[in-house]
Amino acid sequence: MPEAVHVGSGKVRELYALDDERLLLVASDRISVFDVVLPTEIPDKGRVLTGLSAFWFERTRELVPNHMLGVREDGRSMECRRLEMLPIECVVRGYLAGSGWKDYRATGTVCGHALPEGLRESERLPRPIFTPATKAQEGHDENITREQAAELVGAERFEEVERVSLALYEFASRHAAERGILLADTKFEFGLDGDELVLGDELFTPDSSRFWPAGEYEPGRAQASFDKQYARDYCESIGWDKTYPGPELPDEVVQGTRSRYLEGYALLTGTELE
């Protein structure tokens, strides 16, 4: 069998070409904190993320076809259909966090959605909103208006990705809420297989979504992240300036963080990771 050819790197994932039609998406155990990849890995993190994507891809097939062909024995590698990726990030927000909160505070709007006055950080929105962004090569994606997004993918395709994104968010946020987890926001990447719209990338993982423990939810402040809070708190406690390189994590922080990933996986999927 011809070997896999490395074609791309994300912060914590690698992408390989298997042949003209198939890719291999490999989730590592690397963790990024404040946008810097740390020198210490979190055992099983890659298997948790790939397992979560697989769980959601299987359950959302009726809403939209996706690129997953199968997960390999290692649990971290997903064989995928090769797509022509659309040039926008498809974000849905049910709560005001991250760049959504930043933009709202500055302008009272997010991606052209006029929102009620007086919303607080982390507050639940009257209804979920679709907030597309550009794909930055380096640094942060930039929020764009619906009009800008429609120019990039075409008006018809824009309407389709908006409708499908909102349906996916509604499906997963309901599932998560029934298990005591709030899905604050999430990012999708779509591609085309010919003329067919296909969901790609990862799906409802903690690297593409903000999950908050519902029991600790309190609007008016930033929320603790389900998975990374131990690691973030440790990094802040030692006075790290959030520039490269990041600090090594002590074993208790590694084990605490690993437990949070495994706990989140079990809560959401109803099964333990093997």
Restricting to residues 53-72, name those near ligand PZK by CB under 6 A.
67
**Under DSSP, is residue 266 helix (H, G, I), strand (E, B) or coil?**
helix
- Choose between 83 and 268: whose C-beta lies nearer to ligand PZK: 83
CB 33 within 8 A of CB 246: yes
Q: 15 - beta bridge partners?
A: 8, 25
Q: How far is the CB of 11 from ligand PZK (least distance, A)?
A: 9
191 binds ligand PZK (CB under 6 A): yes
247 binds ligand PZK (CB under 6 A): no
Give the one residue of 38, 48, 54, 83 binding ligand PZK; rule: CB under 6 A: 83
49 binds ligand PZK (CB under 6 A): no
CA distance 197 to 168: 14
184 binds ligand PZK (CB under 6 A): no
Q: How far is the CB of 13 from ligand PZK (least distance, A)?
A: 3
8 binds ligand PZK (CB under 6 A): yes
* Residue 103, C-beta contacts closer than 8 angstroms, at least 6 positions apart: 109, 110, 111, 143
In terms of C-beta density within 10 A (0-12 exposed, 13-18 middle, 19 or more buried), how is residue 127 classed?
exposed
CB 121 within 8 A of CB 218: no
Q: How far is the CB of 127 from ligand PZK (least distance, A)?
A: 29
- Choose between 14 and 121: whose C-beta lies nearer to ligand PZK: 14
86 binds ligand PZK (CB under 6 A): no
Closest of 175, 201, 176, 198 to residue 188, by C-alpha: 201
Measured between alpha carbons, how far is residue 50 from residues 108, 228, 231, 261 in Å?
A: 36, 17, 21, 12
**Interface characters, 199-228, with ligand PZK (x: CB under 6 A):** -xx---------------------------
Binding segment toward ligand PZK, per CB under 6 A, in 9-17, 92-100, 119-127, 147-155 = 9-17
Give the one residue of 4, 17, 41, 82 binding ligand PZK; rule: CB under 6 A: 82
37 binds ligand PZK (CB under 6 A): no
- Choose between 29 and 201: whose C-beta lies nearer to ligand PZK: 201
25 binds ligand PZK (CB under 6 A): yes
In terms of C-beta density within 10 A (0-12 exposed, 13-18 middle, 19 or more buried), how is residue 272 classed?
exposed
Which tokens sit at 172?
Answer: 């997963």
4 binds ligand PZK (CB under 6 A): no
* Residue 117, C-beta contacts closer than 8 angstroms, at least 6 positions apart: 108
CB 168 within 8 A of CB 64: yes
CA distance 272 to 100: 33
- Choose between 23 and 184: whose C-beta lies nearer to ligand PZK: 23
Question: Which residues of the chain form contacts with ligand PZK (CB under 6 A)?
Answer: 8-10, 13-15, 23, 25, 67, 80-83, 85, 191, 200-201
